Amino acid sequence: MTVAPTSGPRTGAATRRRGDNLRKAIFDAVFEQMQAVGYANLTMDKVAAAARTSKTVLYRRWATKDDMIDEALRDALPTPAAVALSGDVRTDVHALLRCVQDSFTSTRGTAFQLVSAQAGCERGFVRQAVIQYVVEPCIELIFEVLRRGAERGEVRPEAASRLVASSGPAMLVQYSLLHGTVLPDEFVASVVDQIVLPLVAQAPAGGDRPTSTPPAPVTAA
């Protein structure tokens, strides 16, 4: 009696990745190619080959490579709304600034720096995504933290403003422009303790506002 051979590994369409698996493979390929060839030389063909899919599949999802990169960035960046807030002003401001800090290194640790270094119209592409998806939402959340702190009497009412709320994130963005995308933890903490908190602190009983020592310059590593 002849025994029918067992079927081997299924290939082709049967093993084709779909849904979340395909999406992850494409986004991994985007950052892999950004690191390998840079933004200017990244193409849909190269991403499709790296993701082991077809260019047609990519164009069904995204009209341009910028649309594809934008969604990959949005997927990789931290989500400000997911930050757990405690009700303590310092703790919450620090947690939200850590979210901004993480956004500068979250795209596989390289994409932000690579695209930001490109010349011409490409220069601000990733930076703008970070601002839109992380920095601006964090400013709104810090504003809400300050507003609630003012209601509890912990923050000067006039300091519960979007202008003051933007001071911490602005310092982190400025640091990244001058020194690169790796923001030291001690710098983030100094922004909280030496800039934001003195700006919002209630005056003591004597009427004089607390003074603070300006943050020491941070030398880029």
The residues spanned by each domain of the chain are 18-64, 77-200
Residues in CB range of 24: below 8 A, 6 or more apart: none
> How confident is residue 217, by pLDDT bands cut at 50, 70 and 90?
low
Does the pLDDT value for residue 97 go beyond 90?
Answer: yes
DSSP code at position 70: H
What is the per-residue pLDDT for 36?
86
The predicted model gives 81-91 an average pLDDT of: 97
Please state which CATH class domain 77-200 belongs to.
mainly alpha
Report the CATH fold assignment for 18-64.
Arc Repressor Mutant, subunit A (1.10.10)
Question: Are the beta carbons of 39 and 118 closer than 8 angstroms?
Answer: yes
> Does residue 210 or residue 95 have the better pLDDT?
95
Does the pLDDT value for residue 49 go beyond 50?
Answer: yes
CA 180 to chain centre: 14
What is the per-residue pLDDT for 12?
45
> How confident is residue 133, by pLDDT bands cut at 50, 70 and 90?
very high
pLDDT in tens, 11-43: 444 345 668 899 999 999 998 898 888 888 899
- Does residue 155 sit in helix, strand or coil? strand
User: What span, in angstroms and rounded, lies between the C-alpha atoms of 52 and 166?
Assistant: 43
